[in-house]
Amino acid sequence: MNCPIAIRLALLAPVFAIAACAPVETKTSLVTPSGGATMTAGPGDVVMNFQSREALPNAFGKADLFGRTTNAGGTTVRYVGSQGGQAVFERTDVQVVSNATTMSETPLIVPTTTNTQVTGVVGHTQVSGQATSTSYRYVPPRGSSQYATTQRPITFTLGAGQKTSVAGKTLRVIRVQPSSVEYRIE
């Protein structure tokens, strides 16, 4: 059965309307490997690294229909060393604020149509011709600005068998040695 294009568009319009109404949200994901395996870190090593992405707002203040995002910052947990049998960690949170929107990050392609007319005489015969050509001009996105802010790093300690929650994931210390820590991300 062949549906006319108008009917297909009428059926798809509510889907696009609902998608265009999604709120602008920030999603945070763990970038470092997890998988529950026991890992080892030395002083200065990053044990957890989270990246946050925020949906680009469209002209109506809702999330971009195509799912485009911008950097919103992140969280890093770094192993600093051991002290008194405890692993010392440092958590740093960075927030990135941007004025990026779908309009500032979308390039434009502007078509220009040119009509050319030629008339003349070839020998004793009157001739004329007409041609239409279209060219395209690329206008890059105007771009946006952003700035990052960070709070003073938070220092915390964990002993063997202890755990803490960071951005929805659990950091569990398995063993603390003088120059390293064994841990698991769950």
Rounded CA gap, 57 and 100, in Å?
8
Q: Is residue 127 part of a domain?
A: no
Structure tokens at 91: 């958590």
Q: Please list, in sequence order, all residues whose beta carbon lies within 8 angstroms of the beta carbon of residue 96, skipping any fewer than 6 positions away.
A: 52, 70, 71, 72, 73, 146, 147, 148
Q: Residue 74 sits in which domain range? A: 16-108+144-185
Name the strand (E) or helix (H) holding 71: strand 69-83
In a domain, residue 61? The reply is yes
Residue 117: inside a domain, yes or no? no
pLDDT of residue 2: 56
Of the CA atoms within 13 Å of residue 92, those in its CB half-sphere come to 13
pLDDT at 151 (0 to 100): 85
Residue 136 lies in a domain: no
Give pTM, 2 decimals.
0.70
In a domain, 103, yes or no: yes
CA pair distance 11, 16, nearest whole angstrom:
10
- Burial of 125-160, coded b for 16+ CB within 10 Å and e otherwise, reads eeeeeeeeeeeeeeeeeeeeeeeeeeeeeeeebbee
* Residue-level pLDDT at 181: 95
User: Would you write out the chain's pLDDT as a tens digit for each of its 186 residues?
Assistant: 456 776 766 666 665 555 557 888 888 888 888 777 899 999 999 999 999 999 999 888 888 888 889 999 999 999 999 999 999 999 999 999 989 888 888 898 999 999 999 999 998 999 999 999 999 999 998 888 888 888 899 999 999 999 999 998 999 999 999 999 999 998
> Which phi and psi (to 5°) does residue 7 adopt?
-70, -40
Q: List the structure tokens of 178.
A: 């003088």
How many structural domains is the chain composed of?
A: 1
Single out the residue of 49, 152, 57 nearest to residue 98, CA to CA: 57
Q: Is residue 134 part of a domain?
A: no
Q: Is residue 11 part of a domain?
A: no
